[in-house]
Structure 1
Amino acid sequence: MPQVSQHDGTTDPVDHLETFRTMMLLHDASGGFLCRAFPTTLAGATRVWYSQLKPNSFDNFEDFGDDLARHFMSSRRPRKTAASLMTLRQGDNESLKAFVGRFNREALQVPNLDPSAATNALLTGAQSNDFRRSVARRNPHSLAYLMAGAEEYISVEVTMAALDSSSEHEENLRRKEPYEAT
């Protein structure tokens, strides 16, 4: 039987159910097998809850899963929305690369994210007007395209900063007086 981490009631039960279903689909398991195998993935409070169920309490695995999710609702992870992305802001000391990475991690958690909503949220949260113009010009049609454009901009920004730093270093070396032997 495939390995699925145990659910003890402290993590999102829907995530656990989806992971279990996916693993069972890989092995072409039937509904009856799901019902018999699932208890092996329970621990702690979830196992206690399960052990108190009356035999044949559910007609199918979907009903069982719905009841499990309702019972452990307080452990559910809040689902991200496009509106929650609008609250993300680049910190004063946060690099654009770090902000875009943080934004992408959040955006990937939003189901069916509309590209224009993602673009608007990224434009609202970023501090650099040059970056905003760059993103707006691209008119991204997907989150992947939006992130590719952001990475391209960041790459150019990092390269330019390195060149500026190198030029500044060379200028400082030229300003210093040559070493004179005594």
Structure 2
Amino acid sequence: MPPIPQCDGTSDPIDHLETFRTVMLLHDASDGFLCRASPTTLIGAARDWYSRLKPSSIDTFEEFRDNLVQQFMSSRRPRKTDASLMAMRQENNESLKAFVGRFNREALQVPSLDPSAAMNALPTGA
């Protein structure tokens, strides 16, 4: 089984939970198993938060997910948008090749990016 990174409350909780869920789905884990296994990946502030929950206060993995995300909302990584691509500019000492590489890495982080939006954004930054 691939390792599941631990969640300490300082990293994006959605990234953590999606990795956890993906690994668990490889094993055809039930919702109940997800609920019982997910706390084993928590450390630090996240473990402290979990230990303060009232017993039997969470019934589903979705409920656990929503509570964890709400608790550690400030740790969420800002999601990239096509507008963030439009704001990208080539740095003074940056080669065109390096800029295009950086642009492409950013574009991969934009969910459901319309290819035409990416094509329109690239020339504005170079």
Q: TM class by shorter-chain length?
A: over 0.9
Once the two structures are TM-superposed, the CA of residue 92 in structure 1 deviates from its matched residue by: 2.3
The 1:2/1:103 distance shift into structure 2, 3 A limit, reads closer
The yes-or-no answer on 1:44 pairing with 2:44 is yes
Aligned to 1:84: 84
Question: 2: distance between equivalents of 1:47 and 1:81?
Answer: 32
Aligned to 2:56: 56
Where does structure 1 differ by over 2 angstroms across 4 or more consecutive aligned residues? none
Aligned to 1:6: 6
Question: 2: distance between equivalents of 1:82 and 1:29?
Answer: 36
Contact 1:2 1:24 survives alignment (8 Å): no
Deviations, residues 93-137 of structure 1 (Å, cap 9, x unaligned): 2111100110011110000000111011101111xxxxxxxxxxx
Aligned to 1:26: 26
Question: 2: distance between equivalents of 1:43 and 1:92?
Answer: 42
Q: How does the TM-score come out when normalised to structure 1?
A: 0.67
- SS of 1:11's equivalent in the other structure is coil
Structure 1 residues without counterparts, runs of 5 or longer: 127-182
Aligned to 1:97: 97
Structure 2 residues without counterparts, runs of 5 or longer: none
Larger Rg: 1
Q: How does the TM-score come out when normalised to structure 2?
A: 0.96
- SS of 2:11's equivalent in the other structure is coil
The structure in which a higher percent of residues are helix is: 1
> Relative contact order, CA 8 A, sep 6+: which one is greater?
2
Q: Percent identity over the alignment? A: 76
Deviations, residues 8-52 of structure 1 (Å, cap 9, x unaligned): 000000000000000001111110110111111000000000000
